[in-house]
Amino acid sequence: MRTPLIAGNWKMFKTLDEASSWADDIAKRVSDITRPEILVCPPCLYVHALAESLRGSPVRVGSQNVFWEDSGAFTGEVSAPMLASAGASHVIIGHSERRQYFGETDETVNKRLFAAIRGGLTPIVCVGETLDQREAGKTNTVIEAQIKNGLAGIDPGQAGLLVIAYEPVWAIGTGKTATPETAQGVHAFIRGLLRELFGQEVADRIRILYGGSVKGDNIDALMAKADIDGALVGGASLDAASFERIIRFKGK
């Protein structure tokens, strides 16, 4: 079955020194782990240093964003070939903070997705509804549009490489996690959409992570659900001990 993936998203936190100490610490803590897969997504400035210092450990390194062109006159942007050459294996695409503050749309998500695949990076495509959308009963409609438009034009062969992260916006950084039942309901809905788009076999292979206030004390119950294949962890990934606890979830 699907290998669980626990991914940390540092957002815009830590200096280089802090990042290096974290890497030394986590490498010692998880050196025995072969399952789940472990990923950390620091600010892209630290991707190379972390990829070097975590080489030989089970922790892989990803980026929090990627531009859709491979090279060119695009001041301030970073491309998939650059990230891959710096040691990144994965990239987060369409995080709700990028949608909220930086004008990310399903269309730009789609362009970044193609760039990631071209560059050999595993894309982690984020979807999720806001509180207003949930209260208006629009959760499924919103998720369906994000999945169908974000993944437009992807063929089933490429889709097998995808990771999806369901992150309800109202649960991110708020301490309000979706209940395991609520999350499982949306994950099952997403898997149904993936089945419609890519067929049963591919849909069964795609990992769907939950994100939004994941902590040591709620990860076990979340991971016990059939369609929750891992977690995208913000705040609790910044501390190596609390990230380790999440990596060592019980069940599955």
88 is an interface residue for ligand PGA by CB under 6 A: no
> Considering only residues 147-176, where is the footprint of ligand PGA by CB under 6 A?
167, 172-173
Shortest spacing between CB 211 and ligand PGA, in angstroms = 4
Size of the site for ligand PGA (CB under 6 A): 13
Q: Which amino acid is at 90?
A: H
**Residue closer to ligand PGA, measured from CB, 41 or 84:** 41
- Scanning 70-78, 107-115, 133-141, 226-234 for contacts with ligand PGA by CB under 6 A, the matching segment is 226-234
Asked if 64 and 41 count as a contact pair (C-beta separation under 8 A), the reply is yes
Q: Indicate the residue whose CB is closest to ligand PGA.
A: 234
Give the other-Cβ count within 10 Å of 17's Cβ. Answer: 8
Q: Between residues 84 and 124, which has the closer beta carbon with respect to ligand PGA?
A: 124
Cα–Cα distances in Å, from 113 out to 6, 28, 53, 56?
20, 33, 27, 28
Q: Least distance (Å) from ligand PGA to the CB of residue 41?
A: 9
Q: Residues with catalytic annotation?
A: 95, 167
- 52 and 25 Cβ atoms separated by less than 8 Å: no
Between the CA atoms of 38, 181, 218 and 250, what dihedral angle is there, to the nearest 10 degrees?
A: -60
Q: How far is the CB of 138 from ligand PGA (least distance, A)?
A: 21
Interaction of residue 62 with ligand PGA, rule CB under 6 A? no
In 3-state terms, the chain is what percent helix, strand and coil (to 5)?
45, 15, 40
Which among 14-22, 50-58, 135-143, 231-239 is the span making contact with ligand PGA, rule CB under 6 A?
Answer: 231-239
Q: Which class for 220: exposed (0-12), middle (13-18), buried (19 or more C-beta within 10 A)? A: middle
Grouping H, G, I as helix, E, B as strand and the rest as coil, residue 201 is helix
- Which residues make Cβ contacts (< 8 Å) with residue 209, sequence separation at least 6? 5, 7, 124, 163, 164, 165, 166, 228, 229, 230, 231, 232
The only residue of 36, 119, 123, 212 in contact with ligand PGA, by rule CB under 6 A = 212
Least Cβ distance, residue 126 to ligand PGA (angstroms):
7
Q: Kindly tell me which of 123 and 202 has the beta carbon lying closer to ligand PGA.
A: 123
| C-beta closer to ligand PGA: residue 44 or 202 | 44
Interface with ligand PGA by CB under 6 A: which residues?
Answer: 9, 167, 172-173, 211-214, 232-236
